[in-house]
Structure 1
Amino acid sequence: MNAIFDSAAPSGTGNGRVTDLLSTVLFGSDARREHGFWRRLVATEPFRRPLWPPPGPTSDERLALAHARLRALNDALDSAARPAADPRALAALHEWLAPVDPALATVAGIHYNLFLGSLLDHDAGSFRDLSDFLRLRRIGTFLCTEVAHGNDAAAVETTATYDPGRDGFVLHTPNAGAQKFMPNTSPAGGPKSGLVAARLIVGGADHGVFLLLVPLTDASRALPGIRVRRLPARMGSPVDHSLTSFDQVFVGRGALLGGPQGRVGDDGVFRSETEGRRRRFLTSIGRVVTGRICMSASAVGSARVTLALAVRYGGHRFVSAGRAAPPVPVLAHRSHHGPLAEAMATVFAMSLLHRRVLDRWEKAASRPPAEREAAERLVDIAKGWITWQARDVIVECRERCGAQGLLENNGMTELVTGIEGAITAEGDNLAICSRAAAGLLADAVRAPQEEPDPEPESGDLADLRFLGRLLDQVERIRWARAAARLAGAEHGDPLERWNAASGPALRGVEAHAYRQAAHAYDHAITALPDGEARDRLGELARLFALSWVAANSGDLLAAGHLTAGQVEGLTDATEQLVAAVSGHLPELAESFALPPELLADWPIAGARYTDAYDDPGASWHTEAAREPSGSAR
């Protein structure tokens, strides 16, 4: 039991103390409050992984299990409004549930964040009865994306036309491209209601996209005027992605989620405190930003679990070491532990950046709009970088586990495919990173230009401060290139100018994410007392930074920030850190604080993993039973 999650546990000593300190780095000083509930939950029924007999559950059975778990989760909460109102609780929910059941994380995230969260945000002070949704008599879902409109969701074509005679809105889908293209809208799991993004038409005027609360299904079918058709099976979790359309569906005026973005009064007149249809839309779907934090959390949790499984399996999967030598764990080989050591440095960086972003977003809620916009940009950058890094880590770890990693009962295959959903959900990575790139490039163009250093910077590749300065320089180089490309493009065509600069600008966003993660490492190291835990974290931080420096060594050399000798020394410096980190991989994986019950559900995690494939009717059992009593062998 990890002491930071157990108030009755004494402070650890030796390696246990190191593990606890590293767990605090990953989960925060208030880990018991923030993560303890979710960690305990995944170790209990019905959240344990079922030991399905071959060939395993069907997609519909897995979806039914996800909804059963959602109800068990809701019953375990003091109030279903808690995760909806608390970004930290939402993030922790995804961090622990996504590795166990990606489908559950999807339906829970939609219900608590996008649905209930939006209702709470926009209906503060209203008298709307939420009891059906809080008690899960109706499941909430969110319908924004359309077949023809995803990243340009402000252009959705579904309409909500105000009917003054009936004092309500008529929802309508005008064409095939306007069908909602969203998950969890079928009757599977029970009656559903949705928040539908539609163009608000009042008195013939289009006021932009707003959310309306619309009952979608009863327990068995779509309600009149609503069509729900399941889409083809998708890779990853078995959530019921569907096409949903509306044929002149009427809802009362109270269905509109009002707020500063606008509302329709008793006199049937639209009024808004927010200028511009795009700003009204972004205000209406503000919960999508929190959803991006949740996608980062899902990726962090999934990468940690996959890496822990790969490290454990590498320690008890033995291979031949030569004719005269006894077998050794496959983890003893540099070709095996090297990629896992680099993955460990990346996973810690992902975790630290995620916590840094969560802290900043939480504080930004009470800050001026400019600070909130900067925090949202960091959320976008982190979501893209973390989910892309998670894909690389998960695929690498799966490969290190060979054929065992391809079996569903070892848990990795769902995470390999599930991360693709996180990369696309709540804003496609490339689209949100492009938006962030445009903002950061504008800042770079306005910033005063630094004079290049006349001589290469002196420094030690073992010095984390020197490596940090190199990471800063990588980002500056990339923004300077993007700015030069922008300046050289012809004026008058915004698309052509952006196309000219977007390549290096997107690489600038990547460099910005690496620098932010490195700063998060620095902060975490400073907060630790001198000792083994600080040493371990420092090794991880240097390996993380050095890998990025090595990837950009040509640019740094050309710009005079590295000498030829330093570039030559990168390989030895990296190998020394790989050796240092790999020697502590099991200890570092223990700091992930995965419950023993959770690990027990994946055969690959145990030293006796072959027992999962034992055959009671096979010869090694039947021969012993047939052997005559007292016979000699």
Structure 2
Amino acid sequence: MTVPLTDTAPLSTVDLLTGVLLGAGYRREHGFWQRLISTEPFRRPAGGTPEERLGLAYERLRILNRSLDSGARLAADPRALAALHEWLGPVDPALTTVAGIHYNLFLGSLLDHDAVGSRDLSDHLTMRRVGTFLCTEVAHGNDAAAMETTATYDRARDGFVLHTPNAGAQKFMPNTSPAGGPKSGLVAARLMDDGEDHGIRLFLVPLTDDVRALPGVRVRRLPARMGSPVDHCLTAFDQLFVERSALLGAREGGGGQGDFSSTRADRRRRFLTSIGRVVPGRISMSACAAGSARATLAVAVRYGGHRMISGARGARTVPVNAHRTHHGPLASAMATVFAMSLLHRRALDRWEVCTEEDRAAAERLVAVAKAWITWQARAVIVQCRERCGAQALLENNGMTELVTGVEGAITAEGDNVALYSKAAADLLLAADPDRWDTPLDRTPGDLADPYFLGRLLAAVEKIWFGRARERLLSAIHDDRLARWNAGSGPALRGVEAHAYRQAAEAFAQARAALPGGAARERLTELERLFALEWVARNSGDLLAAGLLSADQVDQLPDATEELIAAVAAHAPELAESFALPAELLADWPIAGPDYADAYDDPEGPWQAGAALASAGTV
């Protein structure tokens, strides 16, 4: 990472820290989205029923689409897709959901599978038809490879018959209702020909007009999802015929009509290709979670600065942020939010430049980052909501949607525990497993040294994976599941430690790129606080391994408190570096010093007194 420099004037501390959080080209990469959410169509409306909010989300989607120079270009650019989620997420989670589905899963898959110009995409690029993606089934989520929806080749008509064979095979949660206008979907189905299974493929299928589902398609709205007005549905197919051209990649390889021959390896490759857009989707979930956590934290810091409370024994009033019990959790959240943002950029950068040789490692980092960031976002958002009291429970103050919205990100594009489990298996068994058996580096160090702290974080990862490997190797069960169960507990702890180490390395990289001065000092404080709190959580293991002395364990609480005080002292400036548009913050009453005005009653009894006072009457 490099920080953008200018020949005309040195950048401020805030600008330098914004460059750390959003990347070197943040004005070019993020400026469009910052401006878009500042415009009137994206300002926060007052109230509204779930159906009205859903209608607004689709209306905004069309406004967004008209603002783009090319929807196809957006769909092809994982960095732009991430930026979309990073800025729209705090504004309108429902819009973010339908936009991500349309541009990434739907348009992106079309572009990935078919040669440029081989299919007319004009309806989807102009939003005459909104795109959606149908993969998950009621009975098949993380095991999507076992899905049961079939697409049976009809030789006489040279096309496919889509069918849902049982209730468990219904497509689960795609936004397939007529809300928002006519919809088309990419349907993942098992291609069958003469009783032979040729694996999971994608089919482009018109689903609805602007009133109802089309013949052969059955759509039923699911119960309302917590916090989201998106039109999540159950979707089924009743012997629906589609032309051969509906098959994505229909022209790839092989023979002529009806020739779908493939090996088991080919079928797995095609399945992975069919769901290939899940990787940019995971990057986008990380971006959405990081952006939402930053927005919530900025509001909490601002509110804590102008929410005044009485001091002890009738002393003068002070802002609630003056209390360690209030600013301490927010300081820790600030360190975590920087770590989340930096790990997101690290994963995005790694994915963008990966080659076929290191693609698996890049995908693993993306998956681990998605899980860790969304989990951390939930903790940060809930903590910030609590610090803002009852007012943060009101929808107009913006936090409730984000509290519930992050739950969707935790499950979307791969359930977090499933992602951790796969990463654990890869790191234990596939990625040089012998490294977990090598000796730990017990060279003494100083808790004030970020390099030493980085070594400790790497050691925590090694300790947990070493335990997992030992349990796997010592298990006497012949049952593979039983063996995995024996080691999976510590293995998942190892993946968590892996995420912390990756975030710490991202911190170190960002710090090294900053010039000396206040910005570097602020980032170093955040980096040390982030690392020390994780070291403290694992201090028993580090002490037992001889990596920390008893004196250092005793020093951890004081060292952490000093850093909390340092970070809290600069919290408003750090929150300013999030570069949130003033219009966004203005739509959340508790983000401003005059938040009480949102509750003013024009007919309240105090109004008469105010009117008399303004008229000069006593």
Calculate the TM-score normalised by the size of structure 1: 0.94
| Partner of residue 290 from structure 1, selected from 280, 283, 288 | 280
Partner in structure 1 of residue 199 of structure 2: 208
1:417 Cα deviation after fit:
0.4
Partner in structure 1 of residue 13 of structure 2: 18
1:204 Cα deviation after fit:
2.0
Q: 1:65 to 1:478 in 2, by over 3 A?
A: same
| Partner of residue 450 from structure 1, selected from 431, 438, 443 | 438
1:45 Cα deviation after fit:
1.9
**Partner Cα separation in structure 2 for residue 441 and residue 126 of structure 1:** 44
**Partner Cα separation in structure 1 for residue 423 and residue 585 of structure 2:** 38
Secondary structure at the aligned position of 1:377 is classed as helix
Q: Give unpaired runs (5+ residues) of structure 2.
A: none
Is the aligned partner of 1:275 residue 2:261?
A: no
Task: For 1:68-467, list aligned pairs within 5 A.
Answer: 68-125=59-116, 127-258=118-249, 266-272=256-262, 275-364=265-354, 367-368=355-356, 370-442=357-429, 443=431, 445-447=433-435, 449-452=437-440, 457-467=443-453
Pick which of 524-533 and 315-324 moved more: 315-324
Q: 1:500 to 1:32 in 2, by over 3 A?
A: same
Q: Deviations over 1:411-459 (max 9, x none)?
A: 0000000000000001100011101110001135333732356xx6421
**Partner Cα separation in structure 2 for residue 481 and residue 392 of structure 1:** 27
Is the aligned partner of 1:622 residue 2:608?
A: yes
**Partner Cα separation in structure 1 for residue 440 and residue 337 of structure 2:** 34
1:490 Cα deviation after fit:
1.8
Q: Give unpaired runs (5+ residues) of structure 1.
A: none
**Partner Cα separation in structure 2 for residue 182 and residue 579 of structure 1:** 45
1:193 Cα deviation after fit:
0.2
Is the aligned partner of 1:599 residue 2:560?
A: no
Q: 1:11 to 1:271 in 2, by over 3 A?
A: farther
| Partner of residue 549 from structure 1, selected from 529, 535, 553 | 535
Q: 1:343 to 1:314 in 2, by over 3 A?
A: same
Q: 1:502 to 1:613 in 2, by over 3 A?
A: same
**Partner Cα separation in structure 1 for residue 109 and residue 85 of structure 2:** 18
Is the aligned partner of 1:46 residue 2:44?
A: no
Query: Is the contact between residue 87 and residue 288 of structure 2 (CA under 8 Å) also seen in structure 1?
Result: yes
Identity among equivalent positions (%) equals 71
Task: For 1:561-572, list aligned pairs within 5 A.
Answer: 561-572=547-558
Secondary structure at the aligned position of 1:142 is classed as strand
Task: For 1:54-73, list aligned pairs within 5 A.
Answer: 56-73=47-64
**Partner Cα separation in structure 1 for residue 38 and residue 263 of structure 2:** 48
Query: Is the contact between residue 152 and residue 191 of structure 2 (CA under 8 Å) also seen in structure 1?
Result: yes
Partner in structure 2 of residue 532 of structure 1: 518
**Partner Cα separation in structure 2 for residue 63 and residue 448 of structure 1:** 50
Task: For 1:556-595, list aligned pairs within 5 A.
Answer: 556-595=542-581
**Partner Cα separation in structure 1 for residue 53 and residue 253 of structure 2:** 41
**RMSD of aligned Cα (Å):** 1.9
Secondary structure at the aligned position of 1:404 is classed as helix
Q: Deviations over 1:178-216 (max 9, x none)?
A: 000023110000000000000001232101111000000
**Partner Cα separation in structure 2 for residue 292 and residue 612 of structure 1:** 37
Is the aligned partner of 1:468 residue 2:458?
A: no
**Partner Cα separation in structure 2 for residue 148 and residue 274 of structure 1:** 23
Partner in structure 1 of residue 29 of structure 2: 34
Query: Is the contact between residue 149 and residue 165 of structure 2 (CA under 8 Å) also seen in structure 1?
Result: yes
Task: For 1:507-522, list aligned pairs within 5 A.
Answer: 507-522=493-508
**Partner Cα separation in structure 2 for residue 626 and residue 43 of structure 1:** 39
Pick which of 234-243 and 167-176 moved more: 234-243
Query: Is the contact between residue 12 and residue 20 of structure 1 (CA under 8 Å) also seen in structure 2?
Result: no
Secondary structure at the aligned position of 2:207 is classed as strand
Q: 1:322 to 1:476 in 2, by over 3 A?
A: same
Query: Is the contact between residue 198 and residue 261 of structure 2 (CA under 8 Å) also seen in structure 1?
Result: no
Query: Is the contact between residue 4 and residue 24 of structure 2 (CA under 8 Å) also seen in structure 1?
Result: no
Partner in structure 2 of residue 480 of structure 1: 466
1:11 Cα deviation after fit:
4.2
Aligned residues: 615
Query: Is the contact between residue 228 and residue 244 of structure 1 (CA under 8 Å) also seen in structure 2?
Result: yes
1:33 Cα deviation after fit:
1.4
Q: Deviations over 1:330-372 (max 9, x none)?
A: 00100000000000000000000000000000001xx12x410
1:460 Cα deviation after fit:
1.1
**Partner Cα separation in structure 2 for residue 612 and residue 277 of structure 1:** 59
Pick which of 176-185 and 587-596 moved more: 176-185
Q: Which amino acid aligns with 1:357?
A: A
**Partner Cα separation in structure 1 for residue 253 and residue 154 of structure 2:** 14
**Partner Cα separation in structure 1 for residue 494 and residue 615 of structure 2:** 76
Q: 1:627 to 1:358 in 2, by over 3 A?
A: closer
Secondary structure at the aligned position of 2:140 is classed as coil
Q: Deviations over 1:158-190 (max 9, x none)?
A: 000000110100000000000000231100000
Pick which of 263-272 and 550-559 moved more: 263-272
Q: 1:11 to 1:44 in 2, by over 3 A?
A: farther
Q: Deviations over 1:123-147 (max 9, x none)?
A: 0245210000000000000000000
1:273 Cα deviation after fit:
8.5
Query: Is the contact between residue 310 and residue 397 of structure 1 (CA under 8 Å) also seen in structure 2?
Result: yes
**Partner Cα separation in structure 2 for residue 629 and residue 451 of structure 1:** 82
Secondary structure at the aligned position of 1:451 is classed as coil
Q: Which amino acid aligns with 1:592?
A: F
Query: Is the contact between residue 357 and residue 378 of structure 1 (CA under 8 Å) also seen in structure 2?
Result: yes
**Partner Cα separation in structure 1 for residue 390 and residue 477 of structure 2:** 55
Partner in structure 1 of residue 598 of structure 2: 612
